Every structure is written in C-alpha cells, then in structure tokens.
Structure 1
C-alpha cells in the first residue's frame, strides 16, 4: 500500500527494518543456543579441529613444519583462548544486532537518539537504548551458561559469563562508533531508500542529502563538528582544525556567537569577507570563505567556490535535512505563484494534510504567520522553517521558488517532491536582478533539475525551453488538447462581491470545476494546483469544495463595500500582470473599469512607461499614485508613468497620496464599475527613504467606508 506521505513512508520502512533486525536477533540467539547444546566431546572436536587447522597453517607459513607432535602441542595451548575468543566474538556480534534492533524500535516509536552528537553527548544520547539492550544480552549470556549446566560434559562457569559480557560491551561500543561514522548506512539504505530520487541531479546535492540522517529535534543539537557540516562540499582548509565544534551557523555579522561558523556571503550591498576579522574577534570558530582572509591562527578557515551554495548544504545538515521529513512542493513562474501556492495549500488541507507555506506574502506554520522580505528566503531560513513545520506536525510544505532564489542558490541541495511551472514572461530584469531574459529563463528552468516529478503549463510559449533540461518526468496542464490535464468550456461568473470562473476538466480528472477567483488566467493556476492535489489523493468533490471558496490575500482579492460596484486589491506590479488582470476584468463587462496603481522606486523605468501605456489602453479611468518610492521622488516616478499613458487616449488623474487616491476611486465609483487597486496586494507598508511605514489597503478601504477619508 502506497504511503500517504513521507512520515508514513518512513514509518513503514522503519517497521520493515525492525522486523528484519528482530529476525536477526532470533537467528543469532538460535545459533548461540545450538553451539551451547553440543556435548563436551562434540564441542571439543569442533574447537580442536579449528585450532588444528589454524596451527598447521601458521606453522607451514613460518616454514617450521607441521608435524603431529608440534600441532598437538600448540592446539593444547591455544584451544581454550580460541574457545573464549569465539564466545567473545559471537556475543559482540549479538550485541550489535540487538542494539540495532533497539534503535529501529526507537525510530518506529519516535524516540530517536541524537545521532549527530559525538563523544560524551553521543553516549548520553544512547544511554536509554543501551539501558535496555545490554542487560538483555547479558541475561541471555547467563541463561546460556545455565543451559550448558544440563548438557553432558559441559559446565556453568562465572568466568565464561564475564567473557560473554565483555564481548557484549565491546559490541555496544562498536555499535556506537558505527552509528557515528556510518550514519548513511543506517538511515539512507533503509529509511530513505525508497524515496531517493531516481534521476540524475547534481551529485554534490545528492551526496549532501544522503550523507546524514534526520535527527530527532526533540533532542536539540547543541554543537556539531565542522567536518560534519562540510560533508558534500568540495573545500580547502586554509588553517585551523576541521574537527572543531560549531555552536551555530551564521551569515549575518551582527549575530556572531561564540563558537559559531560564519559564512562570508557576497551581497549586493555588502561583502561578508570584509567582516571576517570582526567575526573572529567576536568568537567565530570557523569562517567559510571564497578567498583567503587575515584572521588569527586559532580560527579555522574553510575555502569554497561559492559560499551561498555552501550555506545551503550546511544549513540542510545543521537542521537535519527536514526536507526529507516532509512532502515538498515548489511553484515557479512569472505570474500566479502566490495564487497557485495558496490553492495547493487549501486543496491539501481539505485532503487532511497539514500544510505549511513559504512565499511572497508570508511563511505559514500552523497558526503562525511570519512576514517575509523575499519570495524565497535565504537557504538557512528555508531549512529553519522546514524544521519548524515538521515539529509543528506539518506533513507538506508548498513554497514559491523565485528566479532569484535559484540564482542565489537558496534552494541548492533540496530535491522537491513536486515542481510546478505556471508561466514565463520578461520580468525582474535589471542591474540588481537578472542581466537578461535568457538568464531569467535559465534560473526558472532549474526547478526541473531539482524535483522528482514536474508539472508545467503546456500553453506557455516558453514551455519547451523551461522543460528542455528536465531530469524528472513532467506532466502537462492547459487548454491544449495534448495536455495531460485539460480545461474547456470556460465560463465567467459574477455577482456584486463575487467574480469567478467555471470550467470542465478532462484527462487526469473528469468533471466540472467551479473556482472562486476571476479570470481565464486563473484556470491555469487552478489546473496546476489540481495536478498536485491529485498526486496527494484529492478527488473531484474535495477539489470543488476547496476552489469554490478559495481566496488569497492581495491576489484578485474582492473587498466587500456594500455598494453596487466591485472593489479588488491585486499585486499586479508590472505591465504583464496589469495587462492580464485588466483584460480579465474587462471580460466581466463592467460599466467602467477603473485602474489605480503606482510604480516602485529604484526599479526599471521601462516598467513605468509600459504600465502607464497598458492602463491607458485598457482602463476607462486610470488613477496614478505612489507605490513604494524607496529612494526616488514619488512625483518623478509618476511623471514616468504619465509618459506612457499619454501615448493613449485613456482618461487619467494623478494623486500622489495613495490614501487620497483610493478615497477618490471609491467616491467616484458608479454601479456596475470594477475598481482595481493594483501593485500593493498583500503588502501592509509603504517604503520611503529606506523605512517601511504601515499602510494596508484593506484598512484604507474600511476607513473610507467609515467616512474618515
């Protein structure tokens, strides 16, 4: 039976391992019993014959001759030590097998020892296991000696119990050392084996992912050795000791902690290498660099080719590869990532999967909502969030994978269970983002080199380029008849405070779908989400239940006003997105379509010209206002937008204060109008001169309704 999720899959595999080791324990006990059941004569013949062969072989090898007299002399001398060594060895092996069985039992019950710890910490971590397994082995040794008392010619001797017990303790110590040095053999082969990706993705990523097991975070790791964190990386130790303990992994010089590993990251504004000396003075034990740095000799310095890539793999190890404990889903594309991500979340939760989210709007872990600065966080934060989700009981996570995230190696080393591509169009191209569209496309295409199964929009004009380098099976969705999941008979639905779309699906699923978000473009988002939901066990009824009531903050979000016009908040912040939503809303045949937007400062001016032209061409009235001016003057940004809109015949008005602009739009809206507040979406701030001031469009709308504006 196919497991529902990774947790269940691991539990099943650990159960199989428990059964196998249990059979080995029983088999070893039977073997020891069989040897003990031999009478004195037969036992002596067995050990004497073995000693004789050993002695003759050694004497022949030494050229001393293997005559009968010499052989019998040495056999008489060695027979007893050989017998005791045999007892020692069989009980050492018995101890290893019993300890392994005990470990599997703890894994199944969820009480896993801290496998990453070393020395005294490791011994303390395994004490609960040894407290059960070692006494069991010793009791069996005692019972074996008692059994020999009843065998003709054999005896029960305390000395033999001591030899057996010594072998048992040696076996337990050997087991502990083996677990510490050969973790991959215990975990990957049995617990991760069936889930290992069968495609050819980056070798170092695979080695890093398979090198370490997943520790139980109920026993928090206090320190790890530097060499453990570096597994899977190609590096050079410029100075210091790779065996040094690391207390934390840090990439922010303001957060240096005693004994930490500091990664010198090259950023757009700062270069972490310039803080190397400061980090060493603050107590950093290890520096990970791309170039030599001048620090005291006691500080370990590790040189790698790319510190961002290194941080991703190191973070995964530090948090115990939580991505292997949870079903991971990544969504990439120019438009629709956030909507699709939340659609997937709603669908999976309707199926009974507790699902976390990492995206543009926020990180969601259970009931906790964490604001974020980047669509795809830094790799350290990704794995930290994954770990928190696992501990919160999540069995799935869906995240937005941005082009910048791929470019800056934030997702390096993660092999997603499912990858979803929505669409691609020119965006995020500029000095601080991608140098050209080719680089942008290349970064997006990386998703299908980092996932086990992909889903892609067959209708997108760049479908072939994005999937060309895929190393996993890719299923398709779209309106195209060749798509694996197809949509047809699309119908728009509208009420005063409701805009939706219905469509028929065929292929992977057959039936009629009703979706509570407007526009034909959301059909593609819904199709992508449905593909994932089908993989996770959803049926038509569950899918309809989730999509019919679906809404996502700041993405074509309808805000009820009580008046006979429709007010929408949307994140459309570039020409492509603005054109898409305006064309979509135009299809609902409004009395008038009113577009309110601004443009962000310190971004491409071309975007401003294009957005002005798009709105002037498609909207009946455009209200130009301020967005996030950052370090530019709002009026200068608006002037650029005006340059574009003046190429059209569209009506417009410019109101620099966004609150006043929203108030104007609402007070001048007429029955049947659709008003779209574009650009801010979920954001609850306005960024001016490096500071973020609170500003929520939902709150502004309510203030207008309350008569405050």
Structure 2
C-alpha cells in the first residue's frame, strides 16, 4: 500500500534521527580535537610548503620566496649576478611578495575555516530535519542551516581577529615564532584564530558551545536530552483538551514522579495503586512545571498549562515516544508474552539474532541489556517512559533490534501503548497473577495477554497451548504457529533427552519453516516450545540451521534451569519457578531424566495469593521425592505463617518434606544430604540476588550461597 503523507514524514524523521545519532555525545570532544589539530596542520603546510631558507639575509615566507624568484630568473636568462645583486633584487621584491603572501595566508585561513565549520557541523549538527511549509499540501523538505557562502562571510571577522592577533604577537614578541621544518611559523595567531572559531562559530541550526563538549549533569530518571520540545509536539496522536495555558509551551523534561520535578517539565499525573499524581499538581506548579497532564481538573496558577486526557497512563506512553524521537521506529522490535518461558525465549532470540549479525538489546525480568551495559530492573515490563528511554539508548549504542518481555501487567497499564512490534511471540497461558494487586480474574489476564496480537505486524503462537484459539481470536496480524502438533508451521518431533552430571539438554527434529535436527542445552519438552518460538523469529532475521545449533547447544540463562557445578555426583539447578504451573512443569521435566531422587527446595512470597502456596505445596509433594520448604521473599508477612500455608497443600500428598525457615541453612542442608544421581532444584528465586523482608531488600544470591557451602562456610 502507498505510504500516507504522515507515514512518509515519520519515516523521514526516523531516518534523519538515526543519521544524527551516528555520533555519540561522548565522542564530541575527541572529534573536536582531531579536526582542529588536523586542519590547523593542513593550513600550516599549505601556507609554508613553498617557503624555505635561502641565500638572502631574510628568512621565512617572504624572504625565501624572493630569493627563489631571483635565482629562477638568473638561471632562466643565464644572468651573472653577484651575491650583493641577488640580495638587492630580493629586498626590492620583498614588499609586494609579503603583501601577496599575507593575502594568500588569510585566504587559505578563510577556506580552511569554512571547511572546518562544515566538518564540525557534520560531526555535531543536525543534518537537516524534514520541515513542512506553511502550505500543508506541500511535501516536506529538508531545511539546512547556513550554506557555504554565508559561512564564508561569517569567517571574515575571525580572519580579521587572527590577523590582528598575528601582528600584535609579532610586535610584542618578535622572533618568537616556532619553527616547523626550518621555517618560521606564526603559530600563535593561527592557533588562537582556530580556537576562537571553534568556540564561537554558529550556523542557522547549530551552535557549538562548551556545553556541546561537556553535557550538563542530568537529574537521574528525568531526561537525558539537552533540548526542549513544544507541548503540542508531545501530544501528537492524542485526544486532549487544553483546560488552561498554551499548548505551544516549551517542555524541558517529562516526569511522572514528584521527586524528579524540574523547571519547565511536563508532569504527568498518574493514578497509581498507592498514590494519585493529581495530589502533587500544586507542588509541581510551585517547582516550575510548565505543563500538567491530567485526567481530572486541578487547581494551579494560570501560568501553568493544563492538558486533560482520558488516560494519563496511555498518554504517557505516546508522550514518551515523542520525547525520545520515536526510537522504536529505528529498531526491529520483538515482544514475547506468556505465563512461562518469556525470559528463556527472550534470551534465546537475543543470542540467535546476535549470531545472525544483529546487535540486539533486551528488556526483561532479569535486566535491561544495552550493548555491554546491564541494568537491573524491578518490573518485567518497565514504565513506558523507561521503555522509550531504553530504546533511545539502544539506538544510540548501535543496536538495530530489541527483544522484550511483554507482561500482562504491562499491557493492562498501557506501558507498551503506541508501539507496533515487528514480531510478537506467545509462549503459553495458565492461571497466574490473579489477585487484588494484579488481575481480578483469569478472563482479564487472558484478555491482556491477547493484546499482543493487536499491536504487532506478525505473530507466532504456540499451537499446543489450550488457550491458543482465545489468544489469537482478535489478532489483527498474520500469525504463524509452532509446536508438537501436526499442522504447526514449525513442528518438533523425535524429542530425546540428554544428561550428564552438569548437563541436561534436549534434541529434536524440526520441519516446516526449517528442516533438520536441533540440539538445545536447556532441558525439557517445555523448552522445546521456547526454542521453536525463538527459531521462528530468528528465521525472519536471517538465521540458518547451523547458526541455530551453534547457539542453542551451549545456551543458558541466569536463573532459568541454570545448572550450578558442584564437583559432586548430583545435579544442582537454580530456577525461577515461583508458581504451581512453573514448578509442576520443571519437576515433570526433571523427572524425565530419571534421577535417583528429585529434591525440591522452595518458598512462597509474602503479600501474594495464598492459593499459590497451597498449590505449590501440593505439586511438590506429589512430584518430588523430598521437599524442603523455606523462605522466599516474606515481605511484610511472617515466614512461618507462609510455610504453614504451604504445609496445608503438601500434607494432602504422600511426599516427604521438612521445613527450614532460613534459606541459607536450607540450601546447606540439601547440599550436604544430596546423594549421587540426585537432581536438586532450588526454585523460586532464580536470577534474584536479594531477599525482601519487612520492606527491606537484603543481598542474597543462591549462586554465592552454593559456593559458600562448597567452601565449608555453612
């Protein structure tokens, strides 16, 4: 279909912004110094390359040229001139040649200055943004700053300043010019003029000040941008009502946290679970907020612009995208949703895309990955502002793709609103996250998960999942399938499990979108589904069978069926399974590897659904040979009370169990009592490196605890 004018403009803007981001701010100082040094050296060589010491009493540019001219004439016409005559003719020519040399020097300086300015503009300035003329029917055009000729005229004052500086230098400090290749060089004037130009040159769109070289320190979480935007630009695509003020007000930052208010910011009043941002409207106005984005009217001075929208959460997503220049349009965006397997699948996709040559960022439960930078996160799907901030950082870091976990809460709270994902992937669905702080019932949970296929260009879904039809019923994009069932677009068959002391894996044949044998270094049939989903996306991005096998054969994810080597003849696994469905899945999978004993160690989080505790207790008692019940994140509940709830479920089974409140002691106990051939799973914490007790998070890493036990500390 032909692009609309709006789509065409957005693509142009996206392309221009991507070009502008080729130069990171951290490189600017180096580029300044490199260009300045190179061009000043070039100017010196141009001016003095034809100058040399000669037989006359004067040296340097004018004297050297005069002597060479006289010698050339003498040789050309065969004149017999004495040394005195050569000197006399040289002195006679010196005055006009000196004037010509100065003119040439200034002309060359002007030329090099212009080139310098243009190169600096390429390094720092905007390359020309698409602009719309007053006549909206006219196609957008690129509008550049001053061209070469205006820039040439702007160099005249600097050339004059250079000349004055040069003469003053010669008057007060005669004979102090540095010598380059045995030639007198008035370097001080040249360097002064170049430095003066560097600090003060300006074009229509670009100003090179010190702040371009050293960015001002930003308030964490407020904005990393150095420019401002008009409020009306941020509201593009939103339905709103201006209650007071000017929609063209300049906005210096976008915030939704009253602790991060800044002069000239847009403060978005979010109605949260604990606080209502509208109650901070007056404080925001006093601290200099230029615009308030609200759902309900607020009483603030008329100097503050107040914009009313139906949902400030939805509005924040679109405003954030505009604030950061719609970075999602510059990336191949991939979203993964489901009850289980999101994290594993996400990292599989990242590893496969990296192998296929795509620098890929990650936003997920464990962390945000931007190049070599790893950022800890609190939510599976961050707030919309943070999502677009991360997207922008990824673009700036050279990423061309991003894969993110899209949680049901993220969809419910509009954190991904306005993003049209290139690919959406559904892993599976089962009852979870049902409660007063999450979803009111399973129907709402399912509905939120199904939103993925309403905002992506192409989808992939697990055909084996019992809720497949409901999830894909309202899809607005083509959806391909994967699974074990006949008819899947990518089907797995002939599954075999592989085991060693410190290795559990699975091999399987694939057919359909890809044909061949795949070897995966993560165990279980459920990880076959994760691998199939990741392969579907990877094939779209240029991966082949050899790449896929090379990556998946050695693939691991921190805290997801992660094997911790102990040096003993039992297998120790750390996994994030924190609900009954996930625990049942991993225990059934591990049972397929025929362990001597299957030992499960887990706890349940405080201030969460009590039903989860009964269910996890029943599952572990039924499927594990030995269950060790311990603490997880008790939060504001008593650990023993949580354990008692778990015991209610486990006592309904015939499973053997013990309870040890302290998780460190529990891990020490299971490691000291594990026998050859056992498989031990530490469930619930996974990648987490803390334990939350009474509102405080205390450091606790299960990997470190295991090592401490091996070192004899427990």
Give TM-score scaled by structure 2 length: 0.71
User: For residue 700 of structure 2, what is the aligned residue in structure 1?
Assistant: 695
CA distance, structure 2, for counterparts of residue 14 and residue 416 of structure 1: 18
CA distance, structure 2, for counterparts of residue 304 and residue 625 of structure 1: 47
Deviation at 1:311, TM superposition (A): 0.1
SS at match of 2:362: strand
User: For residue 234 of structure 1, what is the aligned residue in structure 2?
Assistant: 239
Query: Could you list the runs of 5+ residues in structure 1 that have no partner in the other structure?
Result: 1-8, 19-102, 119-125, 137-175, 178-218
User: For residue 570 of structure 2, what is the aligned residue in structure 1?
Assistant: 565
| Greater helix fraction, Structure 1 or Structure 2 | 1
Pick one of 407, 415, 420 that aligns with 1:402. 407
Deviation at 1:116, TM superposition (A): 9.4
CA distance, structure 2, for counterparts of residue 133 and residue 684 of structure 1: 61
SS at match of 1:460: coil
User: For residue 246 of structure 1, what is the aligned residue in structure 2?
Assistant: 251
Q: Aligned ranges for residues 500-539 of structure 1 at < 5 Å?
A: 500-539=505-544
User: For residue 36 of structure 1, what is the aligned residue in structure 2?
Assistant: none
Deviations 1:346-368 (A, max 9, x none): 10111111110000000000111
User: For residue 92 of structure 2, what is the aligned residue in structure 1?
Assistant: none
Deviations 1:166-220 (A, max 9, x none): xxxxxxxxxx99xxxxxxxxxxxxxxxxxxxxxxxxxxxxxxxxxxxxxxxxx95
Number of residue pairs aligned between Structure 1 and Structure 2:
526
CA distance, structure 2, for counterparts of residue 334 and residue 257 of structure 1: 39
SS at match of 1:627: coil
CA distance, structure 1, for counterparts of residue 131 and residue 672 of structure 2: 63
CA distance, structure 2, for counterparts of residue 590 and residue 654 of structure 1: 22
CA distance, structure 1, for counterparts of residue 327 and residue 588 of structure 2: 42
Q: Aligned ranges for residues 103-142 of structure 1 at < 5 Å?
A: 112-113=127-128, 129-132=145-148
User: For residue 365 of structure 1, what is the aligned residue in structure 2?
Assistant: 370
Structure-2 change in CA distance of 1:311 and 1:526 (3 Å): same
Deviations 1:676-707 (A, max 9, x none): 00000000000111111000000000000000
Deviations 1:294-331 (A, max 9, x none): 11111111100000000000000000000000110000
CA distance, structure 2, for counterparts of residue 113 and residue 291 of structure 1: 40
Deviation at 1:481, TM superposition (A): 1.0
CA distance, structure 2, for counterparts of residue 490 and residue 107 of structure 1: 56
CA distance, structure 2, for counterparts of residue 373 and residue 301 of structure 1: 31
Pick one of 225, 233, 253 that aligns with 2:230. 225
User: For residue 547 of structure 2, what is the aligned residue in structure 1?
Assistant: 542
Retained in 1: the 8 A contact 2:242–2:306? yes
Q: Aligned ranges for residues 369-518 of structure 1 at < 5 Å?
A: 369-518=374-523
Deviation at 1:642, TM superposition (A): 0.4
Q: Aligned ranges for residues 275-294 of structure 1 at < 5 Å?
A: 275-294=280-299
Q: Does 1:643 align with 2:636?
A: no
SS at match of 2:147: helix
Retained in 2: the 8 A contact 1:348–1:355? yes
* RMSD, aligned CA: 2.6
Pick one of 270, 274, 277 that aligns with 2:279. 274
Deviation at 1:236, TM superposition (A): 0.7
Deviation at 1:130, TM superposition (A): 3.3
Q: Does 1:662 align with 2:667?
A: yes
Q: Aligned ranges for residues 9-88 of structure 1 at < 5 Å?
A: none
Structure-2 change in CA distance of 1:671 and 1:261 (3 Å): same
Query: Could you list the runs of 5+ residues in structure 2 that have no partner in the other structure?
Result: 1-9, 20-117, 134-141, 153-203, 206-223
Retained in 2: the 8 A contact 1:116–1:224? no
Deviation at 1:10, TM superposition (A): 7.4
CA distance, structure 2, for counterparts of residue 414 and residue 647 of structure 1: 47
Q: Aligned ranges for residues 549-588 of structure 1 at < 5 Å?
A: 549-588=554-593
CA distance, structure 1, for counterparts of residue 363 and residue 292 of structure 2: 29
Which structure has the larger Rg? 2
Retained in 2: the 8 A contact 1:116–1:221? no
Q: Does 1:325 align with 2:330?
A: yes
Structure-2 change in CA distance of 1:314 and 1:133 (3 Å): farther
Deviations 1:398-428 (A, max 9, x none): 0000000000000000000000000000000
User: For residue 24 of structure 1, what is the aligned residue in structure 2?
Assistant: none
Deviation at 1:113, TM superposition (A): 3.8
Deviation at 1:622, TM superposition (A): 0.2
SS at match of 2:675: coil
CA distance, structure 1, for counterparts of residue 676 and residue 258 of structure 2: 56
CA distance, structure 2, for counterparts of residue 108 and residue 344 of structure 1: 34
Q: Aligned ranges for residues 170-185 of structure 1 at < 5 Å?
A: none
Q: Aligned ranges for residues 622-633 of structure 1 at < 5 Å?
A: 622-633=627-638
